[in-house]
Structure 1
């Protein structure tokens, strides 16, 4: 088969969906030597998806992915004709959006159903409407759907009323770079590079309302008031959108952060490239992820793989991913978040228990297994089309 891969939405800085795609393509390159892959992408993201295999061909589309309307226009009007020109037999879209007209069967990855949630916001109102329409269209018109968790699969079936047999679950994995690092000198270099304290609590994620950062900051301040702990809070991630979060621009010394009594104890690193993230996880004493909604929740697995105790939200897919290897909290309850952080930081035995359980739990997830599910889906869809 000649398989087209729509990588047009990805930018120079990869977030969760981009990292998912990067790992899946690397594994497909190892698994599949028979099919030919045509990667439709922009120059900005080309280095992230450079795969030195004879059956992988990059097709550079010359527009800036930061110009959203240009990207949508190219995706809807030009990409279908490219699929015809390159005689593509199947289109794989790892980031939801597919053209309204596609000249071949499609396999589409749905990472979450957040546009359908009434209590959680990830996008602006206009973008939320667009994403909901695009997601509904992709789910209904795709030949097969890949969901990244059982929770996401059940929501796809619930909101879009598609048969369960159309949806295949491909759980995410953990890159091998996420592991315990014993070198104190390497950890010290990471601390110096990002101006990190000796002891800290870590959050990793795109800074947007659904990540629940404001409540985390309030819980951290409460933790500092009620416990004499030396830890600071390190927030890692680039800015997504949201008025409240833009006001928390501590990296520029924003006075708006002063309403949190311990503003000096909160460090915003901004975007951190993936090659540096394992060092930040390893140097942290605790990882806290109070997200209001996740389709999967990859950062909790990355933290576990690095031997860092995890506290996570008890909503959406996170209980499915965390299992009993972390403390689950109500992300709307600031007192509960603060109490959980205090409990872990003040109990060495609990820390050891969570570390060991996390290292064991993470062994159940792998990118090879994820890619095999997707590869088998290609074969099923391709077989139906023959």
Structure 2
């Protein structure tokens, strides 16, 4: 089975490429803007078609532009994404299945279908119209109509959609996609990097949130729930987008850190929280779970799906809808009660079920799905 995988940069699809390429009956080609050496760093040793020049270098320049509004940067990245798609379509070779990350494989999907391939849009986020609706619920900054149409064009060009959560599936059905075309496979995590951590005892943070600090992730609500309502210590690790950082002495901000350093921060906290307004699947949820933390998240983050994978664990707490500061605070308090009741030593509340969220389990599920749709 020849599989072509298209992803601008590092995403969960580099893990999929690696896992599928290990199988004797699968041949993978990975199309990306990353250099081949970076693909090797992340464990993928198969075929790489790299568009580092001109796309990868241009992306790095955009990312480093000083004092540029994040929404303007997003518009520039969209231009690069369209160019990347056109170049991949030119370079694409015959395959049995094309898997393209949503929004970066429109022309590529069309060409693959002409060559007889089954084409799958891998949805790393909810339906674009759902994303837009959520955006306008808290912001009046215009969204690119061209960018929206490009995503809708991708939807039209494929045979199937791989969704990582029930929330993403529902957003697709809600916006008119055929449920028969919707596949389902939650993500995984590297259990060699993210391992059980000891219950923190030396002035731990009560709550940790990892990811961009912005309104889309309801960070303003999280801050008020933790710092004003519960009066607990909150640690944030990640970049800052459009949400002001709190000035409270209970709040600590750490900027972007390398993924391999994240376990150090998970080890310092009791509970992980992600009350996002909209999400594809928060990979950080899986990282925190692998490190032994109780999870608190909205129904839009993958928290319910993670709970199922982990044996309907009581440590996976979904915030009650409608999302509010009070609902977030209640869920976090429940998580803290569970965390405080854990025995001393390594935190392993999920037992053997933790293997269900490994990348290996994710790859196995993908392989079985591919066998079914290519019969």
TM-score interval, normalised by the smaller of the two chains: 0.7 to 0.9
Question: For residues 206 and 177 of structure 2, what CA distance do their matches in structure 1 show?
Answer: 45
| Contact 2:102–2:123 under 8 Å retained in 1 | yes
Partner of 1:173: 188
| Contact 2:235–2:251 under 8 Å retained in 1 | yes
- Relative contact order (C-alpha < 8 Å, sep 6+): which is higher? 1
Local SS of the residue matching 2:287: helix
Query: 1:60-71 alignment to 2 at 5 Å?
Result: 60-63=51-54, 64-65=58-59, 66=62, 67-71=76-80
| Contact 2:290–2:354 under 8 Å retained in 1 | yes
Partner of 1:154: 170
> Are 2:315 and 1:325 aligned?
yes
Question: Could you say what the CA RMSD is over the residues aligned between the two structures, in angstroms?
Answer: 3.5
Task: Say how many residue pairs are matched.
Answer: 339
1:250-309: CA deviations, max 9, x gaps? xxxxxxx44xxx2x3212212121111122112212212212223333322322221112
Question: Unpaired runs of 5+ in structure 2?
Answer: 63-75
Question: For residues 298 and 207 of structure 1, what CA distance do their matches in structure 2 show?
Answer: 16
**Compared CA separation, residues 114 and 182, structure 1 to 2 (3 A):** same
The TM-score normalised by the length of structure 1 is 0.74
**Compared CA separation, residues 2 and 127, structure 1 to 2 (3 A):** farther
Partner of 2:6: 6
| Contact 1:23–1:175 under 8 Å retained in 2 | no
Partner of 2:50: 59
Residue 69 of structure 1 and its aligned partner are, at CA, apart by 4.7
Query: 1:98-177 alignment to 2 at 5 Å?
Result: 98-100=105-107, 102-104=110-112, 105=117, 106-113=119-126, 115-117=128-130, 120-121=134-135, 126-127=142-143, 129-164=145-180, 166-176=181-191, 177=193
Partner of 2:26: 35
Partner of 2:18: 26
Of 92, 97, 104, the match for 2:104: 97
Local SS of the residue matching 1:276: helix
Question: Unpaired runs of 5+ in structure 1?
Answer: 189-196, 226-230, 249-256
Local SS of the residue matching 2:175: helix
| Contact 2:315–2:338 under 8 Å retained in 1 | no
**Compared CA separation, residues 55 and 329, structure 1 to 2 (3 A):** closer
| Contact 1:344–1:350 under 8 Å retained in 2 | no
**Compared CA separation, residues 292 and 330, structure 1 to 2 (3 A):** farther
Question: For residues 311 and 52 of structure 1, what CA distance do their matches in structure 2 show?
Answer: 31
